[in-house]
Structure 1
Amino acid sequence: MNKVLIPVDGSNNALLALKHAVNVYGKDAHTEIHICNVQPKLYRHIGKYFSKSDISEWQAERAKAAAKSAAEFLEKAGVNFSFTYVSGDKGESLRDEAQRLGCSRIVIGSAKKNTLSRLFENSTTAKLLEISDIPVEVVTGKSIPTLERWGIPALGAGAATALVAAVID
């Protein structure tokens, strides 16, 4: 049995990954598609004002809303699927859910970004590639904007030059 986990968050990149997975794996009767949404954990000082059931209900509503377009696409395509949501760090939670479900792969959508951008943001794709023993298939979206392609590296080079100049003086 081929089990495929696809993280969904309502983004175009997640929908691209879903379409790719349906085209490649969805036609096989021995493939199970699992879509999963990750909800953030509430900070302890916020969570103490709400009951666990209220928090769980709120996260379930948000997860269903985030997975709505993915579920509609799969229903129109006639593909059987299951839906779960988990809470916590995105990369770790997705890896743990894939292991729990016995998935053979994770198909994730990702925006094209340069290395410097990924360095400064919490990239779920990079985290999954780093920690997962389950194969991770990355489906990329549109190319990165010109500002990000040239502007961020130029800012980084300028900052590095200024730092070197400050150290030398």
Structure 2
Amino acid sequence: MNKVLIPVDGSSNALLALKHAVKIYGKDAHTEIHICNVQPKIYRHISKFFSKGDINSWQAERAKETARTAAEYLEKSGVSFSFTHVTGDKGEALNNEAIRLGCSRIIIGSAKKNTLSRLFENSTTAKLLEISDIPVEVVTGKSISTLERWGIPAIGAGAATALVAAVID
């Protein structure tokens, strides 16, 4: 059985990955599609004011709402699927969920970004490529804006230059 995990976060890139997966694997009876949303961990100093049950139900509600468009697309396409949500660091949580489900592939949608942008933004795609033993298929969406393409590397280069100058002095 071919099991495919697709992270969904409500973004156009996630929907693009989902459409790709349906086009390639959707009609194959031997393929199971799992969509997964990752909710952030609630900081300890905030979570002490709420019960664990309230936090879990709030996160489950947010995850279902975020995955609603993806679920509707799969239903309209006639593709059966399952939905889960997990909590934690996106890359690690998705990798752990793919292992738990026994997935043979992860398909993730990603914007076209340079390496420095991915480094500074803590990219889920970069993290999955780094830690996953499961094949990760990256479906690229639209390019990032000019500011993101040039601004983030320029800021990083400026910070590195300032750091080197401070160390030399």
TM over 0.5: yes
Question: How far off is 1:89 after superposition?
Answer: 1.2
Give the distance between the partners of 1:85 and 1:126, measured in 2 at CA: 20
Matches within 5 A, 1:73-152: 73-152=73-152
Aligned residues: 169
Give the distance between the partners of 1:88 and 1:123, measured in 2 at CA: 14
Give the distance between the partners of 1:56 and 1:49, measured in 2 at CA: 14
Q: TM-score, normalised by structure 1?
A: 0.93
Counterpart position of 1:2: 2
Aligned to 2:76, the other structure's residue is in SS state helix
Give the distance between the partners of 1:89 and 1:157, measured in 2 at CA: 27
Compute the RMSD of aligned alpha carbons: 1.5
Give the distance between the partners of 2:155 and 2:68, measured in 1 at CA: 39
Q: TM-score, normalised by structure 2?
A: 0.93
Structure 1 residues 160 and 97: alpha-carbon distance in aligned structure 2, compared to 1, 3 A threshold: closer
Counterpart position of 1:30: 30
**Paired-residue identity, %:** 85
Aligned to 2:109, the other structure's residue is in SS state strand
Aligned to 2:142, the other structure's residue is in SS state coil
Give the distance between the partners of 2:160 and 2:119, measured in 1 at CA: 15
Q: Could you list the runs of 5+ residues in structure 1 that have no partner in the other structure? A: none
Question: How far off is 1:21 after superposition?
Answer: 0.5
Give the distance between the partners of 1:98 and 1:167, measured in 2 at CA: 44
Q: Could you list the runs of 5+ residues in structure 2 that have no partner in the other structure? A: none
Per-residue deviation, residues 62-117 of structure 1 (Å, max 9, x unmatched): 00000000000000000000001111111111111111111000001111111111
- Contact persistence 2:117–2:149 (CA under 8 A): no
